[in-house]
Structure 1
């Protein structure tokens, strides 16, 4: 099976260079210097939450195709927030996920909880964009970056007041963890093959810094899984497709949270 991650990253670098010709890096820097949009702490939101759900907005994926092609970002994420999401994640990649930077900007403008830019970030330019769009956090994917790039982009985001969710896929990527990385995710899905293994989060837990807020990503579709992962030390759970494939994603999240609180996914930390 083709390695979709390498394909996406190659396309992303080309895309960024085109964007820089339209709006220069220097221009974005000047705009960020004047930016006063509020920032909400993802880490604190997860520490305070009883469920730790980071509810994701995405229209499609390379493996599943269109999940919810005509979904409205503001409507869906508003439903997520009302249902009790700890934070929001908005995919902004157009070519492979059907997302737009405008989605992020519109969601952040109406949200009162942290909003993360879910993107294949390989350049500081994208982090400047995230800040200007109103994001409170960004995702960095270790598999898409060298260790030096991961450290540099983490520190750049922190300088802008943004938090970073560093996503790992296996034990070989633990070297990407910089001292500044205090929110660390484990993606249960292989980005090359799309195979999902929920045991990955449990196996990786012992390798992560004890003081980091841990987030499990992908393949979570029932409250019982949240229970098991909380026992393994996870406080955050990035869930998108499970809700987005439903007619009313917000209602789907509300039912999921009800299942957790009713004992189908007990709350013990």
Structure 2
């Protein structure tokens, strides 16, 4: 159940193919003896716009952001600033993340934790559960028609999934796959450009199509005023770069949440 990654263009294809080479030889981890993680959906259903704050050291678009940050310290600061969930990048080469970051964050905070990675192999879903994640990221531009199958894998593993889309065709596929949490990425993962009109446009399309699940806006948010365009339409917003590079993580999160 491996996606056809040769069709994925640009930086997204490059990262996804490298990730597959790294994980395809891994063994499925033993069934973890872990309590059920807190639900991402529960955090997103709280009143107002829920902040998913991201532990992020670098990215292909921004280069180095906060390379020396300690994942657990940053996560605790985010939660103190009102973040209702934490996103942890575990891709090592382009984002300088690690599985150990996720373990440390899970031990440090009691809010839901999203494993932010390029899911291209079933073993990564089992890994996410073993690491203590609450949810996995499924990128429709990578998985294509396999999105529904990976959703089933996540459910079987006791995980939720943030199903990420960037255009109308991907949104239709996410809806048909049965996604319950849809993330709309303002960033084009092929050329890395950002257009903040993308999330409101696709969010309205999803609601017009009858989607009653949860919507998360992603990428391009640097101050609280920008979040006004999401109110009443989205349930959550995922913010990484602007928070991580602040080096005053609690204050940066609080500025976004009002806590």
TM-score, length of structure 1 as denominator length: 0.88
**Which structure's relative contact order is higher, taking Cα pairs within 8 Å and 6+ residues apart?**
2
1:43 aligns with 2:41: yes
Aligned residue for 1:211?
212
* Correspondence list, 1:13-24, <5 A: 13-18=20-25, 20=26, 24=27
The reply on whether 1:161 has 2:178 as its aligned counterpart is no
Aligned length: 247
Residue equivalent to 1:187: 185
Q: Name whichever structure is richer in helix by fraction.
A: 1
- For the pair 1:131 / 2:132, whether they are aligned, the reply is no
Structure 1 stretches of 4+ with a deviation exceeding 6 A read: none
Q: Deviations over 1:113-168 (max 9, x none)?
A: 10000000011100111101100111111111121x21111111011111110000
Aligned pairs for 1:69-88 within 5 A:
69-88=67-86
User: Residues 164 and 183 of structure 1 are in contact (CA less than 8 Å); yes or no, is this contact kept in structure 2?
Assistant: yes
Distance 2:44 2:160 in 1: 12
Which residue in the other structure is 2:149 paired with?
152
Note the C-alpha offset of 1:224: 1.8
| Root-mean-square deviation (Å) | 1.5
The 1-side partners of 2:228 and 2:67 are apart by 31
Equivalent residue number for residue 60 of structure 1? 58
Q: Residues 214 and 244 from structure 1, CA distance in 2 versus in 1: closer, same or farther, beyond 3 angstroms?
A: same
Q: In structure 2, the residue corresponding to 1:94 is in which secondary structure?
A: coil
Identify unmatched segments of 5+ residues in structure 2: 1-8
- The answer as to whether partners of 1:77 and 1:250 remain within 8 angstroms in 2 is no
Q: CA deviation at 1:194?
A: 1.0
Alpha-carbon separation, structure 2, partners of 1:128 and 1:93: 16
**Aligned runs of 1:170-185 on 2, under 5 Å?**
170-173=167-170, 174-178=172-176, 180-185=178-183
Residue ranges of structure 1 left out of the alignment (5+ in a row)? 262-269
User: Does residue 12 of structure 2 align to residue 5 of structure 1?
Assistant: yes
Aligned counterparts of 2:21 and 2:175: Cα–Cα separation in 1:
27
TM-score (norm 2): 0.91
Cα shift readout 1:163-207 (whole Å, capped 9, x = no counterpart)? 110000100112133454111010000011111001001111232
Partner secondary structure for residue 129 of structure 2: helix
